[in-house]
Amino acid sequence: MRVSGLDENGDWKFGRGKASYLLKAEAVRQNVSTRLKSFQNDWFLDTTANIDWITLLGSRNQTIAIEREVERVVLETEGVARIDRLEFIEDRELRSAIIRLKITTIFDTQFTDDIGITP
């Protein structure tokens, strides 16, 4: 698995040849993060892909629904073998959240990541 790397602003990295790409577990990590940060209806080829963050973060008592949606999206990501830990931390005032994940990839690699979600 190979994907184009992203910089700290979420823009594609260019100009460094093969060094601009991520491989194996790092590619999986970036794909998981990108898919979780993407909103439903963002991709015109599949408007049901990703998560309806606006609705879920704007409603009360949605923690279980959000966790199920996060599980669905993560497990549908190519290269993910399993979710070892999932924690959802919500900030109601800012309508944002942090998703703390520990994932095992098909490359027998584990990683832990904190992914910020802001609508």
The domain that holds 101 is classified in CATH as 3.10.450.40
Range from 4-8, 16-20, 107-111 carrying the lowest mean pLDDT: 16-20
Which residues form the domain of 32? 2-117
- Amino acid, single-letter form, for residue 53: W
**DSSP run (H or E) holding 23:** strand 21-23
Count of domains in the chain? 1
For 91-113, the pLDDT digits (tens) are: 878 878 899 999 999 999 999 99
For 30-89, the pLDDT digits (tens) are: 999 999 988 888 878 888 888 998 888 777 888 899 999 999 999 999 999 999 999 999
**DSSP run (H or E) holding 25:** helix 24-37
- What pLDDT score does 68 carry? 95
- What pLDDT score does 20 carry? 79
- What pLDDT score does 119 carry? 66
Residue environment code for 25-40, b if the CB has 16+ CB neighbours within 10 A, otherwise e: bbbbbbbbbebbbeeb
Sheet containing 96-105, strands listed edge to edge, beginning at the edge strand earlier in sequence: 80-91, 96-105, 110-117
Give the residue from 91, 94, 95, 98 showing the smallest Cα distance to 116.
98
Token pair of 20 as six digits: 């601009």
